[in-house]
Amino acid sequence: MSKWYELKLQNFLSLHPRMRLTELGEERVVVEGEYYLNAQMDGYEAIQETYKLRIIFPPHYPRALPQVIELGNRIPKNSDYHTNKDRTFCLGSEIRLKSILLEHPSILDFIKKILDPFLYAVSYKLRYDFYPFGDLAHGEKGLIDDYQRIFKVADKASVLQVLRALGKRKRVANKLPCPCGCGQRIGKCDYRFNLQGWRRLERRRWFREHLSEFTPVKKEKKKKPKKQTDSKKKISPNSRMAQGQGALEASSF
């Protein structure tokens, strides 16, 4: 139980007395009940709302991400509200969430930096029908857009190059083309220092599995030049002269 004590589970329960423990083990914790949201984002109004939630902290938290499920019917169960069909919230892209929890692993940090901003945005959407600070698309497109910002690269192909490099040993990855678009190998570009920071986030196997979840980038087929017909073949000046001489010879008979 010391793990959960260090992760400030008791502090969370004290702050949210209507949330109760329904499962407590050395590996997994489940809390459930009425969650009171009292939040405000810069430039926007304060919002107070109550949601009935179940929060599941998995065995390998904080490396593994928690699941949050709305038990009531306040939030529509569709992608417009970033809620999956199984009622779990899509709290953000996996790499962004993992990077937050790597630096701020306590349960209070998860609430403050991930859950509350999500619930604030959804509550605002319910009231005014738009998100206060923009909205990522649901699914692969949203992940790619977010990863472009996180990795500081230009397009989907570059994002996949980053994931591919992170899924390989450093010596092997350094021989790959750099995702930054400089035209050099990773080992010759300063971008390798960016990759080094992301390697702390997960094991190589995780990045390989995550990469496999994306559709590959289709390579544009090069159009083959059309073959010229005999009538359209270019005639060299020498050929024209030969043809002209032949015509003169034929007319002299």
What confidence score (pLDDT) does residue 87 get? 87
Is the confidence at residue 228, as pLDDT, over 70?
no
Whether the model clears a pTM of 0.85, i.e. scores above it, the answer is: no
User: Which pLDDT band holds residue 250 (cuts at 50, 70, 90)?
Assistant: very low
As separate numbers, helices (DSSP H) first and strands (DSSP E) second, the chain gives: 11, 4
Residue span(s) of the chain under CATH 3.10.110 come to: 2-128
Q: What is the CATH number of domain 2-128?
A: 3.10.110
Q: Quote the CA–CA distance of 35 and 54 in Å, as a whole number.
A: 9
Q: Which two tokens stand for residue 168?
A: 């390989």
* Cβ neighbours, 10 Å, residue 70: 21
